[in-house]
Amino acid sequence: MRIKARLGPYSPSREEVIREALKLADVQPDEVVLDLGCGDGRIPIMAVKEFGAIGIGVEADPKRIAECQDNAKGVDGVTFIYGDVFNADISKADVVTMYLSLSGNAALRPKLERQLKKGARVVALGFPIPDMSATKKVNTSSIGSPSNLYLYKKWR
């Protein structure tokens, strides 16, 4: 599998920060939450367990996918896909989350603009999406890493 941009090293977020990100996106029951570069799967798992959403994680590291599957045992409504985030179908997502590098966010911007449906929200953890205006920015340094969350809501 060829990765198109440096997406960033694996760096797990604290549960409090993930909860804040999902609240910021106003995740509703039965919405599809898609985490690009899902690491150990904690974002889609929390989306299912605490918000009643449908959780999907996309990850290019097979070791992380195995970890996701272990972490999700007993959790219905969460799926993990081994693959490149640039090839993932994001068209059905109501919410996209991503904790990637600045260059990874920049590289994904055209895909987000092209494929996301009207009303979809994106929460970028840690780094903004270059050349896009965030609807809202939240500083989470008092509760953990990453220290900033960026919400984007204007799609088509």
Tens of pLDDT, residue by residue over 49-95, are 999 999 999 999 999 999 999 999 999 999 999 999 999 999 999 99
d(CA 90, CA 36): 9
Q: What is the pTM of this model?
A: 0.93
Domain coordinates in residue numbering, the chain: 15-152
Single out the residue of 98, 70, 95 nearest to residue 155, CA to CA.
Answer: 95
pLDDT confidence bin for 3, thresholds 50/70/90: very low
Q: Averaged over 40-47, what is the pLDDT?
A: 97
Instruction: Give the residue-averaged pLDDT of 116-129.
Output: 96
Residue 5 pLDDT level (bands cut at 50, 70, 90): very low
Q: What is the mean pLDDT of residues 132-155?
A: 91
Structure tokens at 99: 């904790």
Residue 146: the pLDDT is: 83
Q: Which position has the token pair 């999406």? A: 129
The CATH H-level (homologous superfamily) assignment of domain 15-152 is Vaccinia Virus protein VP39 (3.40.50.150)
**Residue 7 pLDDT > 90:** no
Residue 20 is predicted with a pLDDT of 97
Is residue 12 helix, strand or coil?
coil
Average pLDDT, the chain: 92
Expressed in percent and rounded to 5, the helix, strand and coil fractions of the chain are 30, 20, 50
